[in-house]
Copies of this chain bind each other. A is one copy, B any other.
Amino acid sequence: MAGVIRNILFIMFDQLRFDYLSCAGHQHLHTPNIDALAARGVRFSRAYAQSTICGASRMSFYTGRYVSSHGAAWNNFPLKVGEMTLGDHLRKHAVRSWLVGKTHMKADDEGMDRLGISRESIIGARVSECGFDVFVRDDGLWAEGVDGFYDTRRSPYNEYLKEKGYPSDNPWADNANAGVDSDGNIASGWFMKNARLAANIAEEDSETPWLTSRAIEFLESAEARQPWLCHLSYIKPHWPYIVPAPYNDMYDRRHIQPAIRNPGERQHPHPVYEQFMSGAVGQSFQRDVVRETVIPAYMGLIKQCDDQIGRLFAHLENSGRMADTMIVLTSDHGDYLGDHWLGEKELFHDPSVRIPLIVYDPRREADAARGSVCDALVESIDLAPTFLEAIGAPIPGHILEGCSLTPFLHGHSPATWRRFAVSEYDYAATPVAAALGLPPRDARLFMIVTDRWKFVHAEGGFRPMLFDLRTDPYEFRDLGGQPQYARIIDEMYKYLFEWARRQSQRTTVADERVLAMRKGGSARKGILLGVYDEDEADPQLLEKYRGKAMKPASR
């Protein structure tokens, strides 16, 4: 029996690529603080997000379930009331889950109203916040356009900046995410050409240091005296791509790794891929000027994240928390940055679906594995069971669909492990679905990745996509249309079929109870089936029936 963890620090970055860390091989971006965590923990080199968009991916992290199991398939699709979250599972075992930062959670207001759950109640607040108790929530997208704010909640970050004397109505937009042009006018970070400029804000007031300070406040708070999970969830290095000095000047075109793209990808591309390539974002990131302007800023944002992680870890070290706290560092998905002729995320090439995942386990049992790299197929839903096992709680396998990573953390290879990982993307709400003329249910993609193959099934009657990761690690050659791969494609479809038939909704009855029911028991409660006469029944069951005098009923 392994020792038990007291606290869990669950750090998530937003849109951080798996390969933009020096421990993951980036040539010019040095992330010594994150690398140091990898040196003390296990880095999972083949970790995949359950979806390639914030909201859906996060709901899988937080519920421990696949997207098609929890149903919140896209940004701002409410997580239906009744879905259990990390917070619900941990709370049963006296560990509270605290939020510091972003979740992208949209509450199921209709469901809460139907069930009479008030958002003002503690339960209602947790249901609205994805099971977390809120220390601070800030989703970090305080964009404002001609139709008003993208996110109409209160912004603790904007309130902080205004208190600090930033004069704008929306300093998030005008300071943290904008520079100043030569005429002294606002140069918004929404325009990528401005990515070169320093954000017009004191570095210590920018989003990443601000949130790190909130996390330190949490660690020093009374709340942290009880066992906790703290979800420290940064918005960065997510766009807008702009960063304060000195980070805006640290990198230039010499530090940009070559685009992972190949002219062959544009020959007879899969129709869904073609639509994404031809969209405004794809077109934009196909231009060298965009990559050369944006990527140095993206790298600067990551460098700032690494420095703040260093600051945070120093605090944990000094406060003794490194001894009793499991630390996880990951991201909700990646960023194409022009690779494969695409920007943003959404599809399933590695720059988008593969995520950084580092887990530090303070327990003695983990010493053997420190500094190791694990290339097993890992999914984001594996964290929830890992956390439960870490605090010594049983894993409700009838609800959670992932597998605990504890064996890897303790240097063992489990006897059996998944043969494939799955990711999903529902693009029904996007212009791509409109361009392809697809009804909502046909605008869905499913990825299956195995040791060797990456396969994508697209609903709507399209051919699948297939990549041989062994001979084509950069996923340039889509073999999905080539007859000689029919056998492999059949095998991938078998995996998808097996996965699609999984039992995902029998969440009110645990397997243990199902197994106990096999022993029967209804006979002992008077249900006698297939019994012709007393001689055929277990004599012990008969006392209720034998020789009981019966008065004739009044007619």
Mark A residues whose CB is within 8 Å of B.
68-74, 77-84, 88, 108, 110-111, 114-117, 121, 123, 127, 141, 143-150, 164-167, 173-175, 178, 180, 184-188, 190-193, 200-202, 205, 239, 279-285, 287, 289-290, 293, 343-344, 426, 428-431, 433-434, 439-441, 444, 446, 459, 493, 496-497, 500-509, 511, 514-515, 517-518, 520-534, 536-537, 540-541, 543-545, 547-555
Contact = CB atoms under 8 A, between A and B. Distances in A.
Contacts of A173: 526, 544
Contacts of A143: 522, 525-527
Contacts of A121: 116
Nearest to A173: B526
A553 B190 contact: no
Contacts of A496: 497, 501
Given A150-B526, A529-B280, A553 B508 contact: no
Contacts of A167: 551
B523 A145 contact: yes
Contact of A526 (B149, B185, B504, B514): B149
Contacts of A446: 501
A440 B529 contact: no
Contacts of A147: 521, 524-525
A144 to B, nearest CB: 5
B505 A186 contact: no
B123 A115 contact: yes
Contacts of A165: 554
Contact of A525 (B148, B188, B514): B148
Contacts of A88: 114
A252 B489 CA distance: 60
A284 B186 contact: no
Contacts of A191: 528, 531-534, 537, 545
Contact of A184 (B114, B141, B549): B549
Contact of A544 (B80, B110, B145, B508): B145
Contacts of A148: 525
A213 to B, nearest CB: 18
A306 B111 CA distance: 41
A526 to B, nearest CB: 3
A202 B82 CA distance: 47
5 contacts: A68-B503, A68-B505, A185-B549, A284-B536, A440-B515
A520 B431 contact: yes
A92 to B, nearest CB: 9
A553 B166 contact: yes
Given A180-B552, A549-B185, A71 B149 contact: no
A359 to B, nearest CB: 27
Which 6 A-B pairs give the minimum distances between C-beta atoms?
Answer: A82-B82, A71-B505, A143-B526, A145-B526, A281-B530, A284-B530
A281 B545 contact: no
A145 to B, nearest CB: 4
B343 A553 contact: no
A553 B201 CA distance: 5
B506 A73 contact: yes
B202 A149 contact: no
Nearest to A533: B193
A80 B83 CA distance: 9
